[in-house]
Structure 1
Amino acid sequence: MKKKWLLPVFAAFMIFSATPGESDTAEAATPSQLIQNGNKYLGIPYRWGGTTTSGFDCSGFTRQVFRDVGIDIGRTTWDQYARGAKVSKSNLQAGDLVFFNTAGSLTHVGIYTGNGQFINSSTSKGVSYASINDPYYWGARYQGAVRISGINPVEAAKPEVNASSFDNTVYANRGQVAYEIATALGLDTSDKIADFNDVKHTDEYAGEIEAVRKLGIFGGDRNGNFNPASPITRGQLSKVLVTAFGLQHQGGETSFTDVAADNQFNEFIQILASNEITTGKIDGSFGVGENVKHTQLDAFIERSIIK
């Protein structure tokens, strides 16, 4: 993060106040619900004072994610820090708010997702994942964390919920998906000069990322970043698969409880369903905002190749 951004970022926290009249209590939400809501905003750019999908500043993003599960945490970093119970770094759980000192005070906030990762809106990458222990930036600036009332701590402690936190040994990141798609299609990956700000020619999957970019299979965010270490949702993957394998709708509609007709991924999910690449989950949902597991990715690609 470049220093020229720090002053406006800090100003954004000071000039906005919490929205009055909103309840700060709600039926307990789960950490996995919170993280899934955060994932749907991946790639949205940073905007000073931003509180909408046109652009978020850091506390605007965290406020929106908690609002999505019916919890008001206030507008500024200081508001949000004051709303929760303090938590030590060694006791962090998915769903906790984590705070950083980027300009002499509490000037940045994100949501802890487990395994040392947090999701945030940063000036350099917009909504993206980062490590709280990043030795080059965040690690030295970590200031503390709070746990917000209304996020179910019992659910957060269950093993299956810990798995929902982003763990790239279980869940596929964008770089890994690019590799799997490029391999399945037999693409030429010799060009490692990827046309993304955050992918160096020496990076793992650089050739695969550039290969899928050239074919329009995968794009970056509005800031020109590919975010190779970030997770990919099942909804996002549906679009990638349809584009990569040239899949066409075979007729009929399948109803999924979590995919509305106006959902940005509905068209692609329907194409997968009509090709019998997916039947959805046992509860009738597609899991549109859930991170893709490696096992799911392998199954989707195998079925897409057959088609």
Structure 2
Amino acid sequence: MTSPPIQWYPGHIAKAERQLAEQLKKVDVVLEVRDARIPLATQHPQVSQWIGNKGRVLVLNRVDMIPPAVHQAWIHWFREQGEEPYFTNSNQGQGVPAVAKAVQAIGEQINQRRRDRGMLPRPVRAVVIGFPNVGKSALINRLLNRRVVESARRPGVTRQLRWVRISDQIELLDAPGVLPSKLTDQTAALKLAICDDIGEAAYDTQRVAAAFVDLLKQVAPRLTGVEVLATLDQRYGLDPTDLTGESYIAVLAEQKYRGDSERTARQILNDFRKGILGAIALELPPS
């Protein structure tokens, strides 16, 4: 199936980069939020370059949407890379206190350095960045214990920069930073589209749903104890084992949705995004 490559509002990129650069100038600590279902696809290749030598806390949100064994495998993998990942379910608040503690620990180090240079300590300034829809606003609201940030479904909803005091030691920028991206990696772009972490992008729903089915077949053999393909069979009455993703959508459309492939594709993607198909990871740690 050929359709144009997935792009996420390229017209806004320059503006988004300027906004992000402005935000990053003013902060000491960056909380980088990724989607636990696709931790690598939601890593922006330029993050380390943008952050420079600032403190960074890596947050993997939606831990409730991946199997516990995959969660453990990712913890192990990130630690091997020298990183400490913090897994959260921002909607429920799970894991958020540990994130606040990590920010505070970085803040204490920064203030110790200030004292060593004869300067007064001050509240540490933090910002939350990540792709659209990965749960940045929910995390900010949890950290602040109140609903301050609009959880907008469309990307680029950034208002005036406003600092909100979390504690005596931490101030948080209440506007999440959106990572600009030209999405040169189309494999990652498809995963972002499947997980709806891409904002209102122009993408082909049927192509994305077909890619989702194909991807499930790739990860299924490595997901021990999770019968992903059986889940599709139970939910839709059609076993994907011998079909390509594209054929699966077409056959299912004929069987259940009066030949409407678009409706079929939307149904499958929505079921996945709402967790109706169960806890499914679309990426596993590189072996």
Q: TM-score, normalised by structure 1?
A: 0.26
- Comparing both chains, which one has the higher relative contact order based on Cα–Cα distances under 8 Å and sequence gaps of 6 or more? 2
Q: Which structure carries more helix by proportion?
A: 2
Q: TM-score, normalised by structure 2?
A: 0.27
